[in-house]
Amino acid sequence: MIRKFFQVALSGTVLLSSTAAANDYASDAEIQQYIETLTEMGFPAPKEDQLVHIPPTMEDLEDADIHPELKRVIRRGYDLFTNTQQLRGKNVFNNMNCSSCHLGAGRVPFSAPIWPAAVTLPDYRGKNGHVNTLEERIAGCFAYSMNGKPPAYGSDDMVALATYHTWLASGVEMYPKQSIYGRGFPAPERPGKLSYANGERLFQEQCAVCHQEDGSGLRVDGQTVYPALWGNNSNNWGAGMVRIFTAAGFIKNNMPLGQPHSLSDQQAWDIAYYMNSQERPQDPRYTGEVKETAEKHKNFHQHSMYGKIRESDGKLLGDHDNTGDKPFLKPDNLRPRSFE
């Protein structure tokens, strides 16, 4: 497979015409080396028709032939992305940074790299039922994953974040037709049965050294080192990570840090099931009744434990009006759109 990919890369077919050929930042050989590193670690090699893109690094930015002011804004976006806690109390009401889930500053395959958003949006999004721009997609992360209030559309912070996303996509065509290699957190195959008890045991063995026995993570000098996995300082019930398959995909491909693919599919799913069976701040789409909310957003919550009974103690999950440290339920700039 690797050999095959190498030949395809060198022949400069469609596969890489949109990336290496147009990408000033990574040569074919560098991309090939990168793929080999990933496959040695257990990640799948790219399929022949997939789009492979290695985004530029902050080191590449310094040498890039772009306007100095654009560089400054990209640096600002990177800084916000990796230290989103600087917006604490204004836009962020938990301990998360963007880079808590999007590892490697949003560049890394299989860790929900962020550049695909820049080339696939605007697009229709099932989660809110309308066409979303890149800024609106980022706003979704703030509303759910950061349990916060998105920076205003067009504000300096929002533009800086969107610019960082777009720069990472340098050289990739808009609306690519191929599927994107390493997009999202690809979930391993769901096992027949998930075990809460096994997930709990594995969590304490494999995860608690960093994320703590109670899942609260750790902060040092006012900065997040290990993000909170549940509780008031974690993402709320509306974040994509509460879907068990998303969490299982994140864990399998990224955890423990530095050891992707070290857990079996069953282990990744069991840990995800345990982690997502703990309480967290209310879904901003809450109607005042958890089962009604879960039903209203069934396409999303059919994959989560929200509004369901936790098997270990019979607790109905999400049945509360706790919004964590956030003094409101729903940010006012998160709203439907109709184009009428």
Partner 1 sequence: MRYFPITLAALGLVACASVVEAASEGDPERGAGLVTPCATCHQADGSGKHIEGGQSWPRLAGLNARYFIKQYNDIKSGSRQSATMMPFVNMLNGQQLADVAAYYARMEPTPGQGGENASEGVLERGKQIAERGDWSQYIVACRSCHGPGSRGAGEAFPGIAGQHAGYIEAQLKAWKEGTRNNDPQNLMGSIAKRMGDEDIHAVAVWLANQSPVAE
If one counts every other C-beta atom within 10 angstroms of the C-beta of residue 102, the result is 21
CB of 245 to partner 1, least distance (A): 24
Do 95 and 219 contact (CB within 8 A), yes or no? yes
Compute the distance between CA of residue 199 and CA of residue 325 in angstroms, rounded to an integer: 28
In this complex, which beta carbon is closest to partner 1, that of residue 275 or of residue 334? 275
Interacting residue ranges for partner 1, rule: CB under 8 A: 30, 33-34, 37-38, 41, 54, 57-59, 103-105, 107-108, 200-201, 204-206, 209-210, 213-214, 216, 218, 220-221, 223, 225-226, 256-260
In this complex, which beta carbon is closest to partner 1, that of residue 87 or of residue 139? 87
CB of 213 to partner 1, least distance (A): 7
Do 310 and 275 contact (CB within 8 A), yes or no? no
In this complex, which beta carbon is closest to partner 1, that of residue 20 or of residue 38? 38
Compute the distance between CA of residue 245 and CA of residue 189 in angstroms, rounded to an integer: 9
In this complex, which beta carbon is closest to partner 1, that of residue 59 or of residue 332? 59
CB of 227 to partner 1, least distance (A): 11
CB of 319 to partner 1, least distance (A): 18
CB of 247 to partner 1, least distance (A): 19
In this complex, which beta carbon is closest to partner 1, that of residue 107 or of residue 280? 107
Q: Taking phi first (over 0 means left), then psi (-120 to 50 degrees means alpha), and beta for anything else, what does residue 178 get?
A: beta
Compute the distance between CA of residue 31 and CA of residue 51 in angstroms, rounded to an integer: 12
Say if residue 116 is exposed, middle or buried (CB neighbours under 10 Å; 0-12, 13-18, 19+).
Answer: buried
In this complex, which beta carbon is closest to partner 1, that of residue 206 or of residue 233? 206
Compute the distance between CA of residue 59 and CA of residue 230 in angstroms, rounded to an integer: 34
CB of 218 to partner 1, least distance (A): 6
Q: Which residues contact 203 (CB under 8 A, 6 or more apart)?
A: 211, 215, 271, 274, 275
